[in-house]
Amino acid sequence: MKRDDDSLDLLIQKLRWLRLPGMAQLVASLLEQAKNDNLTDLEILHRLCDEERASRMKSAVDRRIKDAKFPELNTVDGFDFDFDPVRKKLRARYLALHDLSFLDKGINPLFIGIPGTGKTFLARALAYRACQATRRVVFTTATRMLNDLAGAEIHGQLERALRRYCRADFLVIDDFAVLAMDPAQANLAFQVISERYEYHRSTCITTNRLFKDWPKVFPDALNAQIIAELCQPESSRDRRHRTRQQGQARAPAQRDRISAES
């Protein structure tokens, strides 16, 4: 019996050395169960592998949640969609986001409404869902992000700070375009949003201002317009570009038709 215990302890040490914590935690109880249930060697191996996979998935999810820096966790189960008709109407559209296909398409979810309508709650719940899928998530308020970037710029670490916001699979900026920005802050906001747009990374924004009111916040009205366009799921720039392409495609066809009729 002593020899078996020593051998089991050695096995557990080897599993931990190999960084297989799920297996190390389960192996003792599983070997005991194998004696009682007559489990085959193959069944034991399958269960050990399943436990290790589950352990690693849980660790990955926990790490993503920690890195996201949520002020508090919200899940969609805690949101009352039946509170009013508007919420009921938006339920299906919002829940469709939880399949996370928008992340691969670079679509930007926007939550616009007056304070108290649940924008932040829904954004947090969506970000939490992305963490459960082990996607890299950053949740921040606009003020905290801009202060962080401004401080990093002063200390010569702006590029490093920008990486955190720009390279996340999903960035959620709460209370964007709420407080007036100075030119330096507006430039930092533009750097984050434009780079994420170029690399088709999804950015979620909650705000209580309609796009037409953003010039009240940004020192440069054109800058406000550009940022608003980049934030939209299908920006005006995309629509203008597509319209130009369609126009160019129609022009030769129209000339051919006129030539044939002449």
* Residue 101 and residue 225 share a domain: yes
What's the pLDDT score for residue 202? 94
What's the pLDDT score for residue 146? 95
Residue 221 lies in a domain: yes
What's the pLDDT score for residue 127? 97
* Residue 55 and residue 127 share a domain: no
Q: Which parts of the chain register pLDDT below 50?
A: 235-262
Residue 98 lies in a domain: yes
Residue 53 lies in a domain: yes
Q: Give the residue numbers spanning the domain of 219.
A: 76-237
Q: Measuring CA to CA, which residue among 259, 71, 63 is closest to residue 175?
A: 71
- Structural domain count of the chain: 2
* Residue 118 and residue 49 share a domain: no
What's the pLDDT score for residue 233? 58
Cα distance between residue 116 and residue 64, in whole Å:
27
What's the pLDDT score for residue 254? 30
What's the pLDDT score for residue 262? 23
CATH number, residue 136: 3.40.50.300
Angle at 130 between CA 129 and CA 131, to 5 degrees: 90
* Residue 136 and residue 48 share a domain: no
Residue 61 burial (CB < 10 Å; 0-12/13-18/19+)?
A: middle
* Residue 86 and residue 52 share a domain: no
What's the pLDDT score for residue 243? 40
Quote the pTM value. Answer: 0.77
What's the pLDDT score for residue 2? 55
Residue 35 lies in a domain: yes
